[in-house]
């Protein structure tokens, strides 16, 4: 696509999004400008990209050029947003730029994005951490009057690293609670499973490897062809009076099922609180 891209904030997620675009030449590298907060971060991050990428700190006068880009990707921490808005108000050229602004900032609503960046076509995206290895999920909520071309361009940024789901903004908090926080729940379970295997006598490295592969294989099975229901899969490996039913009895007694439900709900409620704080 013949366009320009300005990236404000180049943490791991922004890097994961940018690298495939550069590799595929979907956006010409000469048309990309990245802005990071600290000057000492410029060289560190630049080493991860082709030398042709223009990367500057927010203190560099050249950073103001980011606001002239036809697509702007905001990927800063929520507490840094006020600084970004101040830079925008000082340096952007027109209140009616009609540039596309895509935010991956947690907890910042479309309403507040539109208020902070008037004249821009705003999109709110919620990618999750597995996007770092090309296996992510991204929920996207569109702002008002988003054109078909803007939708296409947005998907082109996220498609290389994730499955993209278009959702009403009202569902993004629940999406985040499951998909963005979910990897932490799975990581905790994987660690606990490995600890159990170590207790049973396996070496630590082998226990960790087997726990990760078991989770990955089970996920692949659940998503295979006709998509097996989790209850069906549980029954497939549960024999009468066997090892699995003995283990499941312990998990039910410990309240694992309820704990996971409450974990998702806690993340959902906290996400709503953070969204309200930004209003």
In a domain, 173, yes or no: no
Decide if pLDDT at 92 tops 80.
no
How many angstroms from the chain centroid is the CA of residue 21? 16
Determine the Cα–Cα distance for residues 114 and 186; give it in Å rounded to an integer.
Answer: 35
* pLDDT score of 279: 63
For 25-80, the pLDDT digits (tens) are 889 999 999 999 888 899 999 999 999 999 999 999 999 999 989 999 999 998 88
136 and 220 assigned to the same domain: no
185 and 163 assigned to the same domain: no
Which has more pLDDT, 226 or 111? 111
- Residue pair 101/76 in contact by the 8 Å Cβ criterion: no
49 and 80 assigned to the same domain: yes
Determine the Cα–Cα distance for residues 226 and 42; give it in Å rounded to an integer.
Answer: 47
Decide if pLDDT at 277 tops 80.
no
| Beta strand segments in 87-195, E | 100-103, 121-127, 136-142, 162-166
Mean pLDDT in residue range 88-93: 78
249 and 146 assigned to the same domain: no
Determine the Cα–Cα distance for residues 74 and 108; give it in Å rounded to an integer.
Answer: 11
107 and 144 assigned to the same domain: yes
* pLDDT score of 9: 95
* pLDDT score of 225: 61
204 and 156 assigned to the same domain: no
* pLDDT score of 216: 95
Which has more pLDDT, 264 or 119? 264
In a domain, 17, yes or no: yes
In a domain, 192, yes or no: yes
15 and 140 assigned to the same domain: yes
Q: What is the CATH number of the domain that holds 259?
A: 1.10.3730.10
For 204-215, the pLDDT digits (tens) are 999 999 999 999
**In the numeric block, which tokens belong to residue 252?**
């039910």
In a domain, 158, yes or no: yes
> Angle at which helices 204-222 and 182-199 pack, to 10 degrees?
130
* pLDDT score of 90: 83
Q: How many residues does the chain have?
A: 279
**Is residue 3 very low, low, confident or very high in pLDDT (cuts 50, 70, 90)?**
confident
In a domain, 279, yes or no: no
46 and 163 assigned to the same domain: yes
Question: Residue 123: how many CB atoms within 10 A of its CB?
Answer: 25
Q: Taking all residues of the chain, what is their mean pLDDT, rounded to a whole number?
A: 92
**Is residue 89 very low, low, confident or very high in pLDDT (cuts 50, 70, 90)?**
confident
Which helix (H) or strand (E) segment holds residue 36: the answer is strand 32-36
How many domains are contained in the chain? 2
In a domain, 278, yes or no: no
98 and 145 assigned to the same domain: yes
Determine the Cα–Cα distance for residues 29 and 95; give it in Å rounded to an integer.
Answer: 27
Determine the Cα–Cα distance for residues 101 and 158; give it in Å rounded to an integer.
Answer: 14
Which helix (H) or strand (E) segment holds residue 50: the answer is none
Mention every residue, 6+ apart, whose C-beta is less than 8 A from residue 41. 10, 57
Determine the Cα–Cα distance for residues 238 and 247; give it in Å rounded to an integer.
Answer: 10
* CA quadruple 53, 58, 63, 66: dihedral sign: positive
Decide if pLDDT at 93 tops 80.
no
73 and 146 assigned to the same domain: yes
In a domain, 277, yes or no: no
- Domain of residue 113 covers 5-168
Residue with tokens 């991860």: 48
Mean pLDDT in residue range 242-265: 97
Question: Residue 100: how many CB atoms within 10 A of its CB?
Answer: 25
For 114-132, the pLDDT digits (tens) are 999 988 899 999 999 999 9
Of the residues 168, 198, 224, the one at which a domain ends? 168
Which helix (H) or strand (E) segment holds residue 5: the answer is strand 5-8
100 and 39 assigned to the same domain: yes
Q: What is the CATH number of the domain that holds 54?
A: 3.40.50.720
Of the residues 134, 168, 202, the one at which a domain ends? 168
Decide if pLDDT at 107 tops 90.
no
For 130-174, the pLDDT digits (tens) are 999 999 999 999 998 899 999 999 999 999 999 999 999 999 999
In a domain, 174, yes or no: no
* pLDDT score of 278: 67
How many angstroms from the chain centroid is the CA of residue 101? 16
* pLDDT score of 140: 98
Of the residues 125, 143, 168, the one at which a domain ends? 168
Share above pLDDT 90 across residues of the chain, in percent, rounded to a whole number? 78
- Residue pair 244/236 in contact by the 8 Å Cβ criterion: no
Print burial letters for 138-153: b (CB count within 10 Å at least 16), e (below 16): bbbbbbeebeeebbeb
85 and 121 assigned to the same domain: yes
Strand pairing report for 136-142 and 121-127: antiparallel
Decide if pLDDT at 103 tops 70.
yes
């Amino acid at each position: 696509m013949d366009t320009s891209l300005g990236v404000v904030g180049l943490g791991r997620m922004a890097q994961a999004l940018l690298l495939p675009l550069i590799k595929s030449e979907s956006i010409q590298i000469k048309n990309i400008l990245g802005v990071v907060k600290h000057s000492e971060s410029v060289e560190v991050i630049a080493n991860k990209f082709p030398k042709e990428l223009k990367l500057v700190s927010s203190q560099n006068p050249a950073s103001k050029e980011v606001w002239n880009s036809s697509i702007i990707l905001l990927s800063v921490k929520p507490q840094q947003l006020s600084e970004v808005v101040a830079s925008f108000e000082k340096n952007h050229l027109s209140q009616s730029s009609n540039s596309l602004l895509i935010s991956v900032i947690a907890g910042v609503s479309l309403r507040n994005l539109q208020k902070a960046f008037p004249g821009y076509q705003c999109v709110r995206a919620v990618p999750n951490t597995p996007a770092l290895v090309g296996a992510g999920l991204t929920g996207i909520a569109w702002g008002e009057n988003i054109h078909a071309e803007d939708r296409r361009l947005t998907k082109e940024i996220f498609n290389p690293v994730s499955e993209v789901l278009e959702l009403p903004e009202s569902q993004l908090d629940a999406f985040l609670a499951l998909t963005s926080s979910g990897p932490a729940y799975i990581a905790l379970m994987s660690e606990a499973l490995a600890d159990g295997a170590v207790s049973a006598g396996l070496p630590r490295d082998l226990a960790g490897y087997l726990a990760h592969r078991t989770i990955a294989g089970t996920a692949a099975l659940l998503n295979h062809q006709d998509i097996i229901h989790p209850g069906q899969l549980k029954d497939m490996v549960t024999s009468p009076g066997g090892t699995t039913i003995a283990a499941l009895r312990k998990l039910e007694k410990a309240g694992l099922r309820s704990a996971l439900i409450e974990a998702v709900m806690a993340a959902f409620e906290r996400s709503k609180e953070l969204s309200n704080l930004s209003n």
